Amino acid sequence: MSRISFIGLGNMGKPMAQNLLKAGHELTVFDLAPAAVQALVDAGAKSAGSALQSVQGVDAVISMLPASRHVEGLYLGDEGLLQRIAPGTLVLECSTIAPESARKVAAAARERGIRMIDAPVSGGTGGAVAGTLTFIVGGAAADLDEAMPYLEKMGRNIFHAGDSGAGQVAKICNNMLLGILMAGTSEALALGVANGLDPKVLSDIMAKSSGRNWATELYNPWPGVMPDVPASKGYAGGFGVDLMLKDLGLAAEAALHSGASTPLGELARNLYSLHSAGGSGGLDFSSIVNLYQRESSRG
Ligand code: NAD
């Protein structure tokens, strides 16, 4: 069993760390929030006084932080973790961040002889708890092979997208499509309802027709159409509007950086931004349908 430093014990990091503990690994954990650390200590982890202390004598470091600035702040600079992690150590950076940030940190790690993969996840908090996340990895194939025993304890599907940063690019592309298809499905449902259709009947038709997609099959945004989805529970839980907005912002940045055109991604970003500004940032992202419901009820 390995000794692992796990940094960032929020909604995702906490259950991921718990699954590694259950698998018998020895964890030293750190988070800026003491309560988050305590929950892991109660589950059998060791607490470190700082991120720097957590990486002493470990075989691997795993981080799960909010955004690029937190990841760069943690690893880079004179006080950064890369100054303290032993050469040869494997780092699994699982946060969703800009591909440029992932490449920058991985390059700095390489200079110090530290091996780093970007391994953002898909599957949400439910997947993190169940240990069924999808990991989308960027980095050297040999490093992914070595990370596999850890990733397999936290996830079910593990993909190698390419070199450093490629995991982030693939994750951003997927979530941009998700944002667009959820808005599109909401728009189609609202149009049908505004024209007298029952949303359940229309959903059944679309789920077996060419408009079929992940939202019509598994995550319908209209309240009451499907049981056990956020739409039928007041849009609680699930994947937050603000997290979707963050990922659409990363897609916009990546498009700007590469000169790619993402007009639908930009439109979706504006829709979720408007929705968030209206006070819905904490709701599940399928609540984007509320924007259309308000619009159609005015007519
Ligand atoms: P979160 O805000 O719940 O947790 C982040 C944790 O990091 C917090 O506990 C915070 O205290 C800690 N932290 C921040 N800076 C730190 C530092 N310098 N040192 C130590 N700890 C620090 O976020 P989350 O929902 O767990 O998401 C984490 C990452 O996973 C994000 O990049 C997010 O985009 C991605 N993600 C989230 C979901 C989801 O459904 N929540 C799904 C897929 C991917």
Residues 43 and 157 in one domain: yes
Is the torsion defined by CA of 193, 196, 199, 202 positive or negative? Answer: negative
The residue segments making up the domain with residue 81 are: 3-163
Name the residue of 5, 32, 95 to mutate for ligand 1: max ligand atoms within 8 A of Cβ.
32
Q: What are the DSSP calls for 121-173, one per residue? A: EESHHHHHHHT-EEEEEES-HHHHHHHHHHHHHHEEEEEEEESTTHHHHHHHH
Examine the pLDDT at 14 and tell me if it is beyond 90. Answer: yes
**Cα–Cα distance measured from residue 127 to residue 205, given in angstroms and rounded to the nearest whole number:** 29
Residues 152 and 58 in one domain: yes
Tell me the pLDDT tens digit for each residue of 37-48: 999 999 999 999
Q: Return the pLDDT at 295.
A: 53
Task: Provide the token pair at 217.
Answer: 């099959």
List the residue whose alpha carbon is closest to atom 31 of ligand 1. 66
Q: Which of 163, 192, 218 corresponds to the end of one domain?
A: 163
Q: Which residues line ligand 1 (CB under 6 A)?
A: 7-13, 30-33, 36, 51, 64-66, 70, 73-74, 95-96, 121, 124-125, 239, 243, 246
Nearest atom (ligand 1) to Cα of 65: 7
**Cα–Cα distance measured from residue 32 to residue 203, given in angstroms and rounded to the nearest whole number:** 44
Examine the pLDDT at 296 and tell me if it is beyond 80. Answer: no
Q: Which of 110, 137, 163 corresponds to the end of one domain?
A: 163
Residues 143 and 207 in one domain: no
If residue 5 lies in a helix (H) or strand (E), which one and from where to where?
strand 3-7
Q: Return the pLDDT at 293.
A: 82
Residues 180 and 219 in one domain: yes
Tell me the pLDDT tens digit for each residue of 146-193: 999 999 999 999 999 999 999 999 999 999 999 999 999 999 999 999
How many domains are there within the chain?
A: 2
CATH number reported for the structural domain that contains residue 235 in this entry:
1.10.1040.10
Residues 154 and 262 in one domain: no
Residues 111 and 185 in one domain: no
Task: Provide the token pair at 245.
Answer: 């907005």
Tell me the pLDDT tens digit for each residue of 204-227: 999 999 999 999 999 999 999 999
Ligand 1 centroid, distance to 152 Cα (angstroms):
20
- What pTM value is reported for the model? 0.95
Catalytic positions, please?
171
Residues 27 and 152 in one domain: yes
Q: Rounded mean pLDDT of the chain? A: 96
Q: How far is CA 245 from CA 8, 172, 197, 281, 287, in A?
A: 21, 11, 30, 9, 13
Nearest atom (ligand 1) to Cα of 243: 34
Residues 116 and 206 in one domain: no
Judge whether 180 and 264 are in contact, CB under 8 Å: yes
Nearest atom (ligand 1) to Cα of 238: 40
What are the φ and ψ backbone dihedral angles of 131, each rounded to 5 degrees?
A: 75, 30
Q: Which of 134, 163, 192 corresponds to the end of one domain?
A: 163
Ligand 1 centroid, distance to 200 Cα (angstroms):
35
Query: What is the mean predicted confidence (pLDDT) over 2-30?
Result: 97
Q: Return the pLDDT at 88.
A: 96
Ligand 1 centroid, distance to 113 Cα (angstroms):
27
List the residue whose alpha carbon is closest to atom 1 of ligand 1. 10
CATH number reported for the structural domain that contains residue 43 in this entry:
3.40.50.720
Residues 143 and 279 in one domain: no
Tell me the pLDDT tens digit for each residue of 106-129: 999 999 999 999 999 999 888 999
Nearest atom (ligand 1) to Cα of 120: 44
